[in-house]
Amino acid sequence: MRAVSSAMAADRFDTEVLQQHWIPLASSDADTAAVLRERLGVDFAAARNRVWETDNFLYLPVVANYKRGDTIERETIVFALGSEFLVTLQPAEHFVPFDKAIAKMRRNPALTGSAHGVMYALLWALNEASERVIYYASDALEAMTDDIEMATNGYDQRGREIGVADMRGTMSRMNAAEEIVSRTQETQLQLARAARHLMADIAVHSAALESLIAILIADIDGVKQHAGFEHDKVRYLQQSVMTWLDVKQNQIVKVFTIITAVFLPPTLIATFYGMNFTWMPELDWQHGFLATTLMTLVAAVIPLVYIKRKGWLR
């Protein structure tokens, strides 16, 4: 019975309390958009996903990143902040990050008393979603550490030499992690801009709300710094793998160069004796074949000894 009562209270909170100052607008709901444009003057088409200010509303777009299952989703949310209402242009389907904002407003009902308080809670939820995305990218990078360490050592767990093809999957995952972190950095810049505009747009002085927004701006900057750290980390790992690939390629070229240097003199001798001369005196020698064979071996050993003394075999 208590659980049913709590659920009913939550539904009443969502429908009655939140809608006093917050109007979520699905991006595919053209009819509601037309009504809001006529009654309130909200025109998202004129804003066109940019910071835009009219007499009644301030438009602030934020490209949000959030984790859904094992995938990272990316959606654009446009806030239309007015003196009485906050209208959010958001996906038609259920937008998961705003659930935490609603839960926060249930814990702190004072936030629902103004459009600015509601927008603070929504921005806070988007920042929390970005932080979870960064932790997801960090865990993905940690999972690749063993693969990168084996690559730098040159051998896998079975002692088999690692080739370039073996690192394609790791490189692909690192590139995906870098893209996630880079997008999160972009999101944090947009969140910080929206939070600063929110702070500046508070008409009636509210020390409590201003303090919360100031903390939010600091938290957004903290997540941005964390994203920067992870971005530097993934770039370092990428550079390490690329350096290993360059070394691997240089080793392959070195092997072929040594093989060419060793076999070039014997090949020259073999080419010489393959010519159709009318008279070759060594062919009449008793030990001509042995002498020619030894000369060929010496011609092969001389460059090999030279290369080894130079340390090019290491």
For 27-48, what is each residue's pLDDT tens digit?
999 999 999 999 999 999 888 7
> In terms of DSSP bridges, do strands 22-26 and 86-90 run parallel, antiparallel, or are they unpaired?
parallel
pLDDT of residue 156: 59
- Give yes or no for a contact between 72 and 59, defined as CB atoms under 8 angstroms apart: no
Contacts of 266 (CB under 8 A, 6+ apart): 296, 297, 299, 300
> Listing from the earlier edge strand, what are the strands of the sheet with 58-68?
22-26, 86-90, 71-81, 58-68, 52-53
pLDDT the model gives residue 206: 80
Which CATH number is associated with domain 252-310? 1.20.58.340
- Residue listed under structure tokens 């060793």: 262
**3-class SS at 90?**
strand
Report whether 62 contacts 187 (CB < 8 A): yes
Write the secondary structure of 143-176 as one string of H (helix), E (strand) and C (coil).
HHHHHHHHHHHCECCCCCECCCHHHHHHHHHHHH
pLDDT of residue 77: 96
Sequence-ordered list of residues with C-beta below 8 angstroms from that of 136, at least 6 positions apart, any chain: 67, 72, 180
Instruction: Look at residue 61 in the predicted model and tell me its pLDDT.
Output: 95
Q: How many residues does the chain have?
A: 314
Tokens of 180: 């996630």
Supply the pLDDT for residue 183.
94
Q: Which residues contact 52 (CB under 8 A, 6 or more apart)?
A: 46, 58, 59
User: Tens digit of pLDDT for each residue in 195-219?
Assistant: 999 999 886 668 889 999 999 999 9
Q: 240 CB contacts (<8 Å, ≥6 apart)?
A: 148, 152
Per-residue pLDDT, 159: 60
Domain ranges of the chain: 2-249, 252-310
d(CA 28, CA 267): 75
Can you list the residues of the chain whose pLDDT is less than 70?
1-15, 150-167, 203-205, 277-278, 282-283, 313-314
pLDDT score of 296: 80
